[in-house]
Structures are given as structure tokens and as C-alpha cells.
Amino acid sequence: QVQLVESGGGLVQPGGSLRLSCARSGSIFSINSMGWYRQAPGKERELVAIIHSDGSTRSADSVKDRFTIERDNAKNMVYLQMSSLKPEDTAVYYCTVNGQRTFRGLPVDYWGKGTLVTVSS
């Protein structure tokens, strides 16, 4: 029902900037939070940043001074603005949504297929 499609990944030099986009389609009753995870080669998937329904945000210590998560509810979009990129930021970035299908229903997680970000000179 709900689909998430990431875009904006690519090759960027260290110190550069990049903005990732996530488009949501399909029906969902309510959204509790939206966020970004990433997975580097040989490592576990980790939380990058998350934005809750009240607008509050939280991000990993490694990116909190460089990355910003944004949302546009009217357009069903969530973004990750990345700056001062480092080689260790190289990973597949995944968009995720936590929400409810029905009123008072159990929360469920939705995932996109990911977009690759490569930081290299």
C-alpha cells in the first residue's frame, strides 16, 4: 500500500553537499515519524536522523552538526540535507516511515529500497 522512493544519491567529493529526497505514495491513516537510516559496506544499518509528528528531530552524533532532516507534509516528502560530507558517510541511505493503517491500529514501519551515496575524491 505505502511506497517510499528515495532519490538524490550519487558521487560527491569530500566536503561537498547533497540532498536526498523521499517520496511517499499510497494510503496511510497517520504518520508517527519519518527518518533516514544508512548502511555502509560490512556494517549494520544505523539511524541517521528522524523527525516526529510534532516536528521534533533527533540525529546521530556523527552527523548532527552536518545533516538536517526536513519534511513537507503537503507534498508527502521528507528530505535529508547533507553538508561537509566525509568518506565515512558513504552508504546506502534508506527512507523510513512509521505510521498506523487505521485508527488506533498498531504502528508499522515502511522502508524504501535505498539510494547510494558515495563520498570520494
> What confidence tens digit (pLDDT) does each residue in 77-118 have?
999 999 999 999 999 999 999 999 999 999 999 999 999 999
Mean pLDDT of 70-82: 95
Percent of residues, the chain, with pLDDT higher than 90: 97
Across-strand partners of 4? Answer: 24
Question: Is the pLDDT score of 23 beyond 90?
Answer: yes
H or E stretch including 119?
A: strand 115-119
CA-angle at 101, arms to 69 and 111, nearest 5° = 45
Strands 18-25 and 3-7: antiparallel
Q: Assign 1 a pLDDT band (cuts: 50, 70, 90).
A: confident
